[in-house]
Amino acid sequence: MLLSRVGRPWGFAVAWAVATAVAVAVGLVAVDLVGASVRNRGPLGSDVAPLTDDDETQVRVDPEARAVSRDVEGEWGVFVVECRGVYALGKEIRPAPGWTVVSYERGPDDDVDAVFARGRKSVDLEVFCSQGRPTVAEVERNTLPGRDD
């Protein structure tokens, strides 16, 4: 009788540990499978093969893909991005008065970036194509060291 009373709590503890491990594993698999699409970032599934360093110069946009453009505007200026299917192209960049363009990516790529600066302020934009339309993935604002305002 005493053994069954002592064994029962251990059985519950083992069952709880197994259930917890299974729940965590299921959660990790679900997040891995769905990935960035949960945050509305990037194409769902494997529509685009991942690029390697060797492939960068070989990316070709389908000339039949419909072109959709968007002007991403803010205090920093305008970044014109065009989507052709799942590929983004940085078409034009126009800094606002007092802002400069540090860099921008022309693509084609799965996303394109632009960096604007004014004094110690820096704004980094990332735009990708969601269902063929330019979509802002991230706007990162930074304060740069060692620059005058």
Can you give the residue range of the structural domain that contains 126? 56-143
pLDDT of residue 84: 87
E strands, the chain, are 67-74, 77-84, 87-95, 100-104, 111-118, 121-130, 133-143
Query: Running DSSP on this structure, what letter comes out for residue 41?
Result: -
- Is the domain of 64 the same as that of 92? yes
pLDDT at 58: 57
The two tokens of residue 57 are 């110069």
Distance CA 132, CA 84 (A): 6
Give the pLDDT score at 30.
57
Count of domains for the chain: 2
Shared-domain flag, residues 35 and 100: no
- 148 part of a folded domain: no
pTM metric for this prediction: 0.57
* Coil, strand or helix at 64: coil
For residue range 96-125, what is the model confidence (pLDDT) as tens digits? 999 999 888 888 888 899 999 998 889 998
One domain for residues 82 and 21 = no
Per-residue pLDDT reduced to its tens digit, 48-102: 444 454 544 556 777 777 888 898 999 999 999 999 888 888 999 999 999 999 8
